[in-house]
Amino acid sequence: MLLRFLGSVRLAVVLMAVLVCALIAGTLWESARGTAAAQAAVYCAPWFIGLLGLLCVNVLAAMLVRVPFRRSQTGFVITHAGILVTLGGSLITYHWGERGWLNLPQGDTSNQMVTSRQVLSVASGGSVRELLVKVDPTAPGRGLPRRLATAHGAEFVLQRYLPNSRWQEGYEPAEPPAPPAVKLVLHHQGAQVTRWLSTASESSRVAQVGRVPVSLRLGEAADLQASQLAVDSRSSPDSNEVATSGPSALRDKGHLQVELEGTRWTLAVADEANEAVALGDTGLSVRIVEYMPHAVVGPGGSVENESDRPVNPMVVYETIGPDGAERGKAFARFPGFSKMHQRQSKYPALDVRFEAPAVQNAAGGLEFILMPDGQMRFVLRAPGVPDASGTVAVGEPLASDELGVDLRVEQILPHARAVAEPQPLPYDPKRDGEGASPSIQVLLRRDGAQQSVWLPFGRSRTVELGDDTLELTFGQQRKRLPFQVRLEEFAIDRHPGTQQPAMFRSRVVLTDAQHGVEMRKAIEMNDPLAYRNFDLYQSSYRTDGTQMVSVLGVSRDPGWSIVLVGYVLLMVGMAVTLGTRVRQRGWQADDGSDGGAM
């Protein structure tokens, strides 16, 4: 009874309908979230693999319930066998297939393929163990914390995964006499910005948080008296005055540095719009459209100038080229703003930075005072309003209407040392990895000792655990190919009269010393190199300084020949089934005509 149900046509129809819906959902999800998200959510998900497995069971059961087969069922048997062979070949490719890239500068040789899988490499005593880090980037917190594996006698637990992050300077607890540090968090328009203050140096003591200049100082015993927390008006200059680094700081507005393929151009910034400056013979030109000394980002990403004080200098520039004109913003204090907030650029190879004179914050702002008893006080000085002061509660918004933003002190470290830490950024797969930098937090345990560390993508960190030293690296998985590839020449064909690429071409030499094979091939976008079940095709290219790097896609499909056999069986089975049905109808017609004659 169970076998008949598993092999029933009704179950087959339900399974096919669910699979069709899943494929439609996967296609829509891929267009909205990207290939990696679609693979994690649909194509490589356990439930989708389970559906395919259940379909195999249905096909196999449909054959078993018809044993022994009649001659008229030959086409049925061949067709169902073709389905099983096709699914089996696909399963082989899923488990043993390989996908990756070869990054080859011109003249270099490599056999190291980089895959899309992310791994945590643990090295100790000359041996390396790779632990697979598999997390859905659209739901990075699902299933965490999760044990990865045990390597070199230590247990590794994945605590947090950030699909996109920006690393910045942070602090961690330390022993005296290390100076104190304070962690600030600004919540604004659904985003979260983190800043650290430390008394270690003058530069680390002051920061710009949104529109507010913030500083930190150590309080003295006399500051414990509330009456002395009032601001000494004699030490506060006029709020309209600006302390500068020199008498010409306000006249010198800075320069726009434009870099393309290793060549740099410098454009002086003025109040008025500048003439376009040609970038050599690249076909591009850049002009400065507008200068804002105190730029403020408002709702919807709009930028307005708030004052003439150089608190947050910014320029609006325009790039003119064969693909049309494109405007961008360059902030002196936030050099990565443009790449973070611009989804797609017409000229991605262009690097633009605004360098403004060093100008101190305007008088006033928010000052934190760390008292000798461990408490923290704040004093807010704002033009045109009375000064405000109070006690800081960790994790709570500062009780000040004059501040106008949700600013909180998240952590106070009496003694701290500088470290790097990640700041979460919104995950947007449509950026095609531009600016994306995943980070992971891993917990190490061994013999009662444990340590939690953050690891940025593509970086290594040494960790002392007991008596051993472990080197941890978070990055892409690397696999060794059974042959070597040398890039002799990389060429770009461009459309006539423009700088727009028309075709990429890599002239390579493939060497397989074990089999004594040497192949030369010009790999183009639609003309790959095929060798030993491997296909090498032209994927993309990038500029590494002044050197061009060709990116060759590498794929290995061990189940391809099996799938091909399955397709042939399917076509043969359908042809045999069709022929059998035609003969059966012919026989029935002959029987009907004879019966009528009688």
For residue 333, give both structure tokens.
């204090």
Own/partner long-range contacts of 51-58 (Cβ < 8 Å, ≥24 apart)? 51/15, 51/18, 51/19, 51/22, 52/19, 52/87, 52/90, 52/91, 54/15, 55/12, 55/15, 55/16, 55/19, 55/87, 56/84, 56/87, 56/88, 57/6, 58/6, 58/7, 58/8, 58/11, 58/12, 58/15
Helices first, then strands: H and E counts in the chain: 8, 33
Using an 8 Å Cβ cutoff, are 545 and 79 in contact?
no
Query: How far, in Å, CA of 43 to CA of 23, rounded?
Result: 8
Q: Quote the strand ranges of 238-359, DSSP E.
A: 255-260, 263-268, 277-278, 285-292, 295-297, 303-305, 314-321, 324-331, 351-355
Nearest CA to 186 out of 305, 297, 291 is that of 297
Query: How far, in Å, CA of 455 to CA of 440, rounded?
Result: 5
For residue 167, give both structure tokens.
């690393």
- The residues of the chain scoring below 70 in pLDDT are 34, 36, 188-191, 210-211, 221-252, 271-274, 297-301, 309, 311, 333-344, 358-364, 382-387, 399-405, 428-436, 497, 499, 544-546, 587-598
What is the pLDDT at residue 247? 33
Nearest CA to 535 out of 485, 465, 463 is that of 485
What is the pLDDT at residue 337? 60
Nearest CA to 426 out of 31, 28, 142, 140 is that of 140
Query: How far, in Å, CA of 72 to CA of 65, rounded?
Result: 15
For residue 105, give both structure tokens.
């500068």
For residue 175, give both structure tokens.
């022993």
What is the pLDDT at residue 309? 65
Q: Which amino acid is at 301?
A: G
For residue 93, give both structure tokens.
């490719």
For residue 111, give both structure tokens.
């056999």
Question: 330 - beta bridge partners?
Answer: 315
Residue 21, phi then psi, degrees to nearest 5:
-65, -40
Nearest CA to 269 out of 312, 315, 308 is that of 315
The mean pLDDT of the chain is 79
What is the pLDDT at residue 484? 93
What is the pLDDT at residue 234? 32
